[in-house]
């Protein structure tokens, strides 16, 4: 039997993920740092675009599902009932390509790196904060720059399939499974295993957060030192967080106000009925970090006005002649 083969690398290089999504009627809601951000088409209720596409790397990542991959992984997620060969045919059909033969697939060589499935990343250094101006500026923009925080400057590289290795720098922290949660102005993702962070502290009370930025914002606002906390890093890891929290008599919840956060809050309270939703603290904002940033901007504006008033008052102050 004469078998032709799909050239999977050629398909990946020929069809950017953003073009594929455009053909499906999906449009990015924002663009930052070379990445497109969409409302997730794999789940409902994604009010804040959290489906990230990096055409340069050829990867997508859904932060609500903590899953990602190549165009083929996305096709499989979109059409779960199809086998891999049919998924590829569906992608080609969607992109308007015509293939005359029924093509068979060639398995990849065992030594070939497959990013996101088998890590192709290398962490070269993780250093204390303070040495990288871009990372510092990013964390300051989020209102969480603190050289004593658990965040690190992470220097790493990624080798996309069939391409040269590329180097990056970002803020990062190690989760409890040894993976690195990575954040910068243009990227949000995980290197290695996705896992939660448990911050040990008060044995009687624990607070839940979706992300590290929310936790650090809460810590700054509340001044809660020595508090126990669980940072999920993704709401899909809620079951792991519940296992850690079940023996705490006091459980506070600080999840996002979007549908995913509301569903996670309801699921957590169903499992731990004594848990209390504290998201009213940042009512009117999607999450604690957004509220924290707004508070900092308001404070800076107030200080600016006071300084301006003092300067004007000094300038206009009447002069009295001495006798």
Write down the pLDDT at residue 304: 54
Domain count, the chain: 3
Question: Quick check: is 235 in a domain?
Answer: yes
Stated length of the chain: 323
Last residue of a domain, one of 160, 191, 222: 191
Q: Could you tell me where the DSSP H helices lie in the chain?
A: 8-14, 17-23, 71-78, 84-94, 133-142, 212-222, 238-245, 259-271, 288-316
**Residue 21 belongs to domain with CATH number:** 3.90.580.10
CB 72 within 8 A of CB 88: yes
Q: Looking at 96-221, which runs of residues are DSSP E strands?
A: 121-127, 152-158, 166-174, 180-183, 188-191, 197-199, 205-209
In a domain, 296, yes or no: no
- Kindly tell me the sign of the dihedral angle through the C-alpha atoms of 247, 253, 258, 262: positive
Parallel, antiparallel, or unpaired: how do β-strands 51-54 and 276-277 relate? unpaired
Task: Examine residue 3 and state whether it is found in any structural domain, yes or no.
Answer: no
Residue 64: predicted pLDDT: 82
> Are β-strands 166-174 and 152-158 bridged in parallel, bridged antiparallel, or unpaired?
antiparallel
| The predicted structure's pLDDT at residue 188 | 83
Instruction: Give pLDDT, residue 284.
Output: 86
The reported pLDDT for the residue numbered 105 is 43
CA distance 68 to 236: 13
**According to the model, what pLDDT value does residue 108 have?**
39
Q: Are residues 240 and 271 in the same domain?
A: yes
* Lookup: tokens for 103: 């093509």
Does residue 69 belong to any structural domain of this protein? yes
Residue 299 lies in a domain: no
Q: What is the pLDDT of residue 102?
A: 37
Same domain for 158 and 224: no
**pTM > 0.85: yes or no:** no
Separation of alpha carbons 191 and 97, rounded Å: 34
Alpha-carbon span 231 to 154, nearest angstrom = 19
Residue 292's closest CA among 220, 207, 184, 234?
220
pLDDT means per 10 residues, the chain with 323 residues, are 54 86 90 83 84 84 82 90 87 68 40 40 92 94 90 90 85 94 86 92 94 94 86 93 95 93 94 96 90 82 54 49 40
Compute the radius of gyration of the chain from its Cα atoms. 24
C-alpha dist (Å) from residue 261 to 85, 101, 127, 178, 267: 36, 47, 32, 25, 10
In a domain, 101, yes or no: no
Give me the pLDDT at residue 298, please: 74
Shared domain for 261 and 227, answered yes or no, is yes
Domain that holds residue 176: 121-191
For residues 130 and 152, the answer to whether their CB atoms sit within 8 Å is: no
Q: Are residues 205 and 159 in the same domain?
A: no
Closest CA relative to residue 264, chosen from 233, 236, 228: 236
The reply to whether 113 falls in a domain is: no
- Give pLDDT, residue 322: 40
Q: What is the predicted pLDDT for the residue at 258?
A: 87
Please indicate, yes or no, if residue 103 is contained in any of the structural domains: no
* 3-state SS, residue 71: helix
Residue 118's pLDDT is what?
44
What is the pLDDT at residue 225? 77
What local confidence, expressed as pLDDT, does residue 117 receive?
Answer: 38
């Amino acid at each position: 039997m004469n078998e032709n083969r799909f050239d999977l690398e050629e398909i990946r290089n020929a069809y950017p993920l953003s073009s594929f999504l455009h053909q499906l009627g999906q449009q990015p809601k924002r663009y930052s740092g070379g990445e497109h951000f969409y409302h997730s088409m794999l789940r409902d209720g994604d009010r804040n675009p959290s489906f990230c596409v990096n055409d340069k790397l050829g990867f997508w990542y859904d932060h609500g599902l903590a899953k990602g991959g190549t165009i083929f992984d996305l096709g499989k997620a979109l059409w779960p009932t199809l086998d891999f060969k049919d998924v590829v045919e569906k992608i080609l059909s969607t992109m308007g390509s015509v293939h005359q033969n029924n093509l068979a697939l060639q398995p990849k060589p065992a030594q070939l790196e497959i990013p996101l499935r088998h890590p192709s990343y290398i962490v070269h250094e993780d250093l204390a904060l303070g040495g990288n101006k871009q990372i510092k500026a990013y964390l300051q923009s989020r209102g969480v720059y603190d050289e004593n925080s658990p965040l690190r400057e992470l220097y790493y590289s990624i080798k996309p399939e069939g391409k040269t290795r590329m180097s990056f720098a970002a803020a990062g922290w190690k989760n409890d499974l040894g993976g690195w949660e990575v954040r910068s102005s243009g990227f949000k993702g995980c290197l290695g295993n996705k896992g939660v962070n448990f911050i040990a502290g008060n044995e009687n009370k624990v607070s839940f957060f979706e992300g590290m930025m929310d936790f650090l914002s809460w810590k700054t606002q509340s001044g809660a030192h020595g508090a126990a906390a669980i940072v999920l890093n993704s709401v899909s890891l809620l079951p792991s967080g519940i296992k850690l929290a079940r023996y705490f008599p006091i459980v506070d919840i600080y999840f996002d106000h979007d549908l995913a956060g509301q569903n996670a809050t309801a699921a957590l309270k169903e499992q731990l009925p004594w848990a209390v939703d504290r998201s009213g603290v940042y009512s009117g904002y999607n999450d604690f970090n957004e509220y924290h940033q707004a508070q900092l901007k308001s404070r800076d504006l107030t200080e600016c006005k006071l300084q301006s008033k003092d300067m004007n008052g000094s300038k206009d102050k009447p002069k009295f002649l001495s006798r």
